[in-house]
Amino acid sequence: MNRVGSRQEFKWSTLTNFSQLSTATKDHLRNVYTCLTLCMLGAAAGAFLHLKTQFQGGLLSALASIGLMLWLAATAHSKENQTKRVCILTAFGVTSGLGLGPTLDFAIAINPQIIVTAFLMTTLIFISFSLSALFAQRRSYLYLGGILGSGLSVLLFASFMNIFVQSFAVFQFQLYAGAALFCAFVLYDTQLIVEKHINGDNDYIWHSVDLFIDFIAIFRRLIIILGLNEKKNKKNN
């Protein structure tokens, strides 16, 4: 039998064929990713503002981001509040971009190309894991919730302890384990958004926040990992 002749031709259209999802769910996901894109543009604007003005937000940016998240969560999802909530979401993206400032400065001091590489890697990871979650059997990744919660608790505890221990090994563990953890969160959050919509939760603006946090968490860690590796290579050379 001719194996080459029997091989099915790959069609790129299969990457957008989510026949297992209803039309309403597809529309919801389209709105979620539109809001995610808007939030990402806000983060890019915030990062650009930091690079141009060297504004050191630090704790102020973090507090502003938390405040905006709470404001967004407290504002009801309705047609009347849609414009207001989109503005809050964009502002949240801007403050998150400002918060990335010190990490971007770290990368620029070593090699500015690190930022581009980390962004492309994060985008590829995010798209791949999102597609995996959407193509996978319904609810197949939701069991990760307990594991991810425990993993996040371990990372937070390690971060707290490392304030006193100051161990580089623990810091590296936080970086690599954190990157892997938030990759898994992309799988979990994507399927959770689908399930929430099926059960009547149509707040696509808030759902985009979950994915945005996952993206930024992976992006930040990849910048640091790539920066440390390149710094090490330069030192060895």
Residue 227 in domain: yes
> Can you give the pTM of this predicted structure?
0.89
Whether the predicted pLDDT of 117 surpasses 60: yes
The Cα 203–Cα 131 span in angstroms is 21
Residue 114 in domain: yes
Residue 53 in domain: yes
Whether the predicted pLDDT of 143 surpasses 90: no
Retrieve residue 214's tokens.
């996952």
* Domain ranges, residue 103: 22-236
Q: Which of 177, 178, 194 is nearest to 140 (CA)?
A: 194
Residue 15 in domain: no
Of 39-53, 92-106, 131-145, which range is least confident? Answer: 131-145
Residue 96 in domain: yes
In the chain, pLDDT over 70 holds for what percent of residues? 91
Type of residue at 3: R
Q: Which of 115, 144, 142, 126 is nearest to 50 (CA)?
A: 115
Residue 1 in domain: no
Count of C-beta atoms within a 10 Å radius of residue 213? 18
